């Protein structure tokens, strides 16, 4: 497949929150999302950011230069470490197109998530694979969409 700058790219990674970030996660996430939405809007990036058990799990999608540029900055960010890319490459369509960035948190025993991941016991971010990480993020995106819809009609 072509790697022209117009080709849509998607990158998925996970990282560990530093103890300082984890100690006031709501504050950290508010700051991160504020910056991310502003920068991502300018760069044409969309995505989703999950917090789960001391980890971040994030999807970034947009043109290859924008994705790589954002990831380069994100990987230098002292609020997390141990970044590990699950997957990166061309994508057919945006899976998180509604959000320049959107944050969601997962509880370790979230039953609907466990069902999606065929998990036994508590959810463990370290056990995710490229496939299960994408499934997790798209499931959370679906939940976000349903929640937004029910808020509108409710």
Ligand X SMILES: Cc1cc2nc3c(=O)[nH]c(=O)nc-3n(C[C@H](O)[C@H](O)[C@H](O)COP(=O)(O)O)c2cc1C
Q: Which residues bind ligand X (CB under 6 A)?
A: 32, 35-36, 39-40, 47, 49, 56, 58, 60, 70, 73-74, 77, 79-80, 101
**Residues 117, 121, 124, 126: what is their CA dihedral angle, to the nearest 10 degrees?**
-90
Per the structure block, which two tokens stand in for 17? Answer: 């929150």
Task: Using the minimum distance from each CB to ligand X, give the nearer residue, 71 or 143.
Answer: 71
Residue closer to ligand X by CB (options 23, 115) is 23
DSSP H helices, 24-153, are 25-43, 64-75, 111-117, 130-153
**Least distance in angstroms from the C-beta of 152 to ligand X:** 26
Residue with smaller CB distance to ligand X, 81 or 146: 81
* CB nearer ligand X, residue 66 or residue 117: 66
Of 103, 80, 108, 104, nearest in space to 15 by CA: 80
Q: How far is the CB of 118 from ligand X (least distance, A)?
A: 26
To the nearest whole angstrom, how small is the minimum distance from the Cβ of residue 103 to ligand X? 9
Q: Are 102 and 48 in contact (CB under 8 A)?
A: yes
């Amino acid at each position: 497949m072509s790697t022209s700058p117009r080709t849509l790219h998607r990158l998925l990674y996970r990282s560990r929150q530093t103890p300082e970030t984890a100690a006031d996660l709501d504050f950290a996430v508010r700051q991160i999302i504020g910056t991310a939405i502003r920068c991502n809007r300018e760069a044409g990036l969309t995505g989703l950011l999950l917090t789960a058990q001391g980890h971040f799990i994030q999807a970034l999608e947009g043109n290859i230069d924008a994705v790589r540029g954002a990831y380069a900055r994100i990987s230098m960010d002292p609020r997390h470490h141990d970044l590990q890319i699950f997957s990166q490459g061309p994508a057919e369509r945006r899976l998180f197109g509604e959000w320049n960035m959107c944050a969601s948190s997962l509880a370790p025993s979230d039953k609907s998530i466990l069902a999606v991941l065929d998990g036994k016991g508590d959810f463990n971010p370290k056990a995710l694979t490229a496939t299960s990480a994408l499934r997790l993020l798209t499931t959370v995106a679906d939940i976000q969409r349903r929640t937004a819809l029910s808020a509108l009609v409710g």
